[in-house]
Homo-oligomer: A and B are copies of this chain.
Amino acid sequence: MNIAVIGYSGDPQQEPIKPLENIVFEVGKMIAKNNWILFSGGRNGVMEIVSKANKKFGGKSIGILPWEIEGNEYLDVSIKTGLDFSMRSYILVKSVDVVVSIGGEIGTGIEILGSYANKKPIILLKGTGGWTDRIQNILIEGKFLDNRKLSEIHIVDNLMDLENLLKKFERKL
C-alpha cells in the first residue's frame, strides 16, 4: 500500500513543526513496520521527519519533488518533476492509495483538496493544526469536500486509530 504523508514544510526544529516531531516520527515508523511505501513531497518539515523515521525502521520512501531540486537525505527515490510546488502535489496524490495529513499551510490545503479531487481517501490527524484542522470546519456531512462525494475524509485523534484505519484500507485493496 502506498501512503502519502503531507503537512508543514520548514525547519523541523522550529515552530510549528517541532511540537509535532514525535507524532510524525511515529507515523514514519508505523509505515515502515507495516511494509507500506511512504510517499511525500520530499522536502523538509513533516516530509523530512517522516522519511527519517521510515528509513530508520527499514522502510522505503519516495519523494515527489518540485522543479529539479534535491530532496532530503532520507529518500530512497527522488522524482524530479520539473513542475512547480503545487502542480507536483498532484503527482504525489495520484500515485498513492491513501493520504495522511498532519498540520500544514496552503500547500497542504492544496494536497487535501487534490486528494479528494483524485478520489483518494484522506485521514486528518486531529489537533495537529493548520489545514489539517481548518478543513474540518467545512466538511459536508462531516466527510465530503463537495456535493460530488468523490472520496471520504476521515478524522482520527491518535496513532492507534490511524494504524487501524490504514490496515482497514489495506484489506480493501
**Chain B contacts of A137 at CB under 8 A?**
137-138
> Which of B91, B109, B148 meets A79, CB within 8 Å?
B91
CB distance B116 to A106 under 8 Å?
yes
0 or 1 for each of A40-53: is its CB under 8 Å from B? (1 = yes): 00000000000000
Cα of A116 to Cα of B147 in the assembled complex, Å: 23
Give A149 Cβ to nearest chain B Cβ, in Å.
10
CB distance A80 to B105 under 8 Å?
no
Q: Which A residues from 97 to 126 make CB contacts under 8 A with B? A: 105-107, 109-110, 113-114, 116-118
Given contacts A81-B91, A90-B86, contact A110 B107 (CB under 8 A): no
Given contacts A68-B94, A77-B77, contact A110 B117 (CB under 8 A): yes
Cα of A107 to Cα of B114 in the assembled complex, Å: 9
> What residues make up the interface of A, taking CB atoms closer than 8 Å to B?
2, 37, 62, 64, 67-68, 77-87, 90-91, 94-95, 105-107, 109-110, 113-114, 116-118, 130-131, 134-135, 137-138, 145-148, 150
